[in-house]
Amino acid sequence: MRFPAVAGSFYTSSSSQLRAEVKGYLGEAAREVKAKKRLAIVCPHAGYMYSGATAAYSFASASNLSQPSLTAIVIGPNHTGVGTPISVSREDWKTPLGELKCDTELVDAIVSESKIARRDETAHAQEHSCEVQLPFLQLAAPSARIVCICMAWQDEKSAEDLAKAIFAAAKKTKRSIIAIASSDFTHYESAQSAKDKDTPAISLLEKMDAAGFESLIDARDLSICGHGPIACALIYARLAGAKKCELLKYIHSSEVTGEAGEGVAYAALSIS
């Protein structure tokens, strides 16, 4: 069992407060977005007071989260530097809202299909990027199983290897899946500077151009921390037949705090 590492910091450890908070975020977002089947979504992973309302847009946009046989593949960046290049958890995960069951058969199939991915729990032990998505998933998709993946290698080839492995594994195991890419956008810059940098990157995502997106990250040294998970989710979704990537919400943390100056940008996107 992987127990919560950031409950009480990134989000409340009170189950009743957490349920009410996430339910509120999802309810507000549902009034703003049109729900339909999504093959992948992109969600921020900061503290809920900063990015929870934005993350809810992605979850509220995916009508297929409610289907009973779904597996959610949550892909986040590795902030801690611990673990293998692509670390796949085979454990069940726990949050203050309860336990989520791991789809172990799908884990084994992904690792078998990938040249890079390995079963590894150490990368996940103190990493927040997958964990913060799970309370949203528990309310939006209460019957879903999970596969949590932590990417230390975030280059285009690694993203493509993992995406192809996920696609092949889903076909082999006959799973219905949704990919959840966990990422914040530009870090520690003003709202205008962040927007100037994020706009061309998001434009490439809207064009379904994972290669161009990764090239832009490298060329401009952008601080989009989960660009590898985003590229992976986009490539997977394209393999699964996706034709469209939509920006649902974009904000800067200064809009939440009311304090001008440097902050972090957050975006919610859906791919269908």
Q: What is the pLDDT of residues 62-86, one digit of tens each?
A: 999 999 999 999 999 999 999 999 9
State yes or no: pLDDT of 26 exceeds 90: yes
Q: Can you tell me which residue has the tokens 């920006």?
A: 247
Mean pLDDT over all residues of the chain?
A: 97
What is the C-alpha to C-alpha distance for residues 130 and 148, in angstroms, rounded to an integer?
6
Sheet of strand 70-77: strand arrangement: 118-119, 86-88, 145-151, 70-77, 176-182, 40-43, 265-271, 245-252
May I ask the CATH architecture of the domain 15-271? 3-Layer(aba) Sandwich (3.40)
What pLDDT does 260 receive? 84
Q: What is the pLDDT of residues 217-258, one digit of tens each?
A: 999 999 999 999 999 999 999 999 999 999 999 999 999 999
Q: What is the pLDDT of residues 149-181, one digit of tens each?
A: 999 999 999 999 999 999 999 999 999 999 999
Alpha-carbon dihedral sign for residues 252, 96, 138, 91: positive
Q: By percentage, how much of the chain surpasses pLDDT 90?
A: 98
- Three-state SS at 104: helix
What is the C-alpha to C-alpha distance for residues 45 and 10, in angstroms, rounded to an integer?
9
Mean pLDDT, range 187-199, rounded to an integer: 97
Q: What is the pLDDT of residues 72-126, one digit of tens each?
A: 999 999 999 999 999 999 999 999 999 999 999 999 999 999 999 999 999 999 9
Which helix (H) or strand (E) segment holds residue 171: the answer is helix 156-173
State yes or no: pLDDT of 259 exceeds 90: no
pTM for this structure?
0.98
The band of 210, judged by pLDDT with boundaries at 50, 70 and 90, is very high
